Structure 1
């Protein structure tokens, strides 16, 4: 990409903050990308939707985490910094955004375009930038759907709701891979330390709070066996190896969800964390080749996905499919199919399809959503053996396709439905809600509450949601957005201190005495 002055780059991102507006902004984006002005007139209207201002009147855009951004759009932190620098030099913007000759000349002349010099909008210097974001509401809606499905599954109301975990996997693979590829494109490499630091700030605080609070609650009111399994499972959760720990204990997934464990749902968090450890390393190695990184990442994701599918079909035990359902190696395709859709090759294909056949894209999104919904209604983890011989792969592929289509055509019918405010709100607290819901189910069981059916489900959902809201706003968001100590060297020290303190919990909390065995009864 040719080098352009910062003012051109800033105008392409935020025309108001950079001191230009109207046709000048369109031209700036045209000069930056080489696309036609007409193309950007359509794309700006379609893809850069407005976001309501925050209730307190402040623009919260800078607080939004990078992993929540649509990865095929620009990185907010980087672009906001450039826009701010450009805005501090308003006198330079007009000279950069001009046609003709000189530093701001149009490098992509187009027949029939008005070649008059473009001047900044006089009102731009005082006008407040419109609240605008590249965050896609439909993706929040998908998170909401996923966590609702899991809640309904664990409360016995939707047999196929466990597939919500696969939707989470596909979303994670898509968003993370998009961020990694964008970093390769802009910086030429992947900063693994920075990536893992962001992941820790995103996931660790709420997880630590849940682990400590639930362990203390179980020790205070739980039966002895529940206390023992909690203290035994906790260190493996901390190490992000819980799925392998449970497999080593021969704990069957489909029959172990009961009153004996409060952390067993965190097997999926362990799978994701293992993905976050290995996949960035592979992308970084691919990036060392320099050219066609996106294509090679796409090929890698496709090949490993197929290998994971074959491995699942080989290993599946019809009597108990736990090994293939919770093993990282056999579930990798759920994450990697999302990663595949995030690559430039697939992204460009979807983008061209949206431009040429928008109705067909809307139909494809509806078909993908219908396929996902049908599988959730029909699937059963214990009797649907077809799930492990291609069904889970097909479901993950439908989820990845739905994510890609919602990203490329966010104004379509399906993305609009997924953008329904309650779904979006549920999606914003989905991580904490997932962490809290299973301990609440165990501790507020039907036996403990005297409730059953939908009354019990309503109680579990209400308590879990309250805890998730508190966790999101008091723990997650402050550490992610406002804790300056959570990054750099101080962040590393804080991480080490938290891990050490958490390790002490498993030692300091006293375990109940093992049950006595009456040897005389054995005679």
Structure 2
């Protein structure tokens, strides 16, 4: 089994690509997306874009799946090589996403209130808020999904955090088992979708269910095992070509996107392309979680500025609103990452670790000199 490079800057670069895809998707929704957290009406206008640009923007929704794959890859590398107690693992995961998420919950509550909105027609009940605060929105569905805009992805991420130690014990470091698990998870997810489509119940709530998203995470786990198993150094252009495919070409299916994303992540980790390892893209990736949480609140003011600056057509409006939203989100994220995310991550990292069940057998930690720095997780 080969070792991965000690530092994999391309992982932050991939996170940067992911958040840019997500922000483009939401910027292209125009007032429909910008006002969804405030308004109840479903007739809010979306930007009317050229077909090719609309397809790219629509595909941006899969940026969340790219986040999932990179997260699964990173955590699998870290847990399989560094070990650590389950308590320490849980504390680090909670410190990583909890503070920012809970502050976002309070912030959006203060900004938009808890009354009726497009995604919560009857408003938010105390139970919705409680379930949302406990990262259970994807299991509850309904108004709980509106507690934090985009919070469904964080709820899915937490479900994966809970499952990952068990998955690693079952896989025991064996790539074949991981591939079989990918096949099983894919078949189950496709069965859920086919049944939902036949019954007319395949809605957004069904799509974001962790069982439907499970193959995406599992492909990330398999990619990490494959990257550790094979020492081949691919040409950097190959990973970059796959990333371009992810960003620019409409995905045939969520699972297809996840497969390509997993391959791109494994290849980029082995030999990072210069673009993915560039400082600007890595800087965006390093604060991508904060950018994800805050960009919903900044979408409306950025759109209104763009409409004044470039009122001629919707595509010129997007040409202004998208980079403006990226820059505004990045600026705010620098502050929230520095003063909210980072202190809690450092605090959790001070706690020691002890051998854990998933560090056994195929996941025993290697000598310290071969442990890679897998970046943020």
TM-score over 0.5 (shorter chain):
yes
User: 1:271-310, CA deviations, whole angstroms, 9 ceiling, x for partnerless residues?
Assistant: 01101011213324x38xxxx5434752553344333443
Q: Equivalent residue for 1:235?
A: 130
Residue matched to 2:21: 149
The ranges of structure 1 where at least 4 consecutive aligned residues each deviate by more than 4 angstroms after the TM superposition are 230-233, 248-251, 318-321, 445-452, 484-488
Counterpart position of 1:198: 92
Q: How many angstroms apart in 1 are the aligned matches of 2:180 and 2:290?
A: 32
Which of 367, 372, 391 is equivalent to 2:246? Answer: 372
Structure 1 stretches lacking a partner, 5+ long:
1-32, 36-70, 74-133, 185-189, 252-260, 380-386, 489-523
Q: Give yes or no for contact 1:305–1:332 (8 Å, CA) kept in 2.
A: yes
Q: Distance in 2 between matches of 1:294 and 1:155?
A: 42
Give the match for residue 68 of structure 2. Answer: 169
Rg larger for: 1
- Seen in structure 2, the aligned counterparts of structure 1 residues 212 and 173 have a Cα distance that, compared at 3 Å, is same
Q: Is the 8 A contact 1:173 1:336 kept in 2?
A: yes
Q: Identify the residue that residue 137 of structure 1 maps to in structure 2.
A: 9
Q: Is the 8 A contact 1:433 1:465 kept in 2?
A: yes
Asked if the contact 1:143–1:430 (Cα under 8 Å) also holds between the matched residues in 2, the reply is yes
Q: Which residue of 2 aligns with 1:96?
A: none
Matching of residues 299-338 of structure 1 within 5 Å: 299=179, 301-317=181-197, 321-338=203-220
User: How many pairs were matched up?
Assistant: 311
- TM-score (norm. length: structure 1): 0.53
**1:395 alignment partner in structure 2:** 257
Report which structure shows greater RCO (CA 8 Å, sep ≥6). Answer: 2
Deviations 1:196-236 (A, max 9, x none): 111011111211221222222334xx8x4249735654322
Q: What SS is found at the alignment partner of 1:463?
A: helix
**Alpha-carbon distance in 2 for matches of 1:433, 1:244:** 25
Q: For residues 227-260 of structure 1, what are the alpha-carbon distances to aligned partners after superposition, in whole Å with 9 as ceiling and x for unaligned?
A: 97356543222111112333x4698xxxxxxxxx
**TM-score, L = length of structure 2:** 0.72
Equivalent residue number for residue 225 of structure 1 = 116
* Change in CA separation of 1:438 and 1:234 when aligned onto 2, cut-off 3 Å: farther
Deviation at 1:363, TM superposition (A): 5.2
Show the counterpart of 2:140.
245
| 8 Å contact from structure 1 (residues 146, 168) kept in 2 | yes
From 274, 295, 301, the counterpart of 2:159? 274
Quick one: distance in 1 between partners of 2:116 and 2:302? 16
Alignment partner, residue 460 of structure 1? 325
The equivalent residue for 1:95 is none
* Match in the other structure for 2:267: 405
Aligned pairs for 1:90-109 within 5 A: none
Secondary structure at 2:174's aligned position in 1? helix
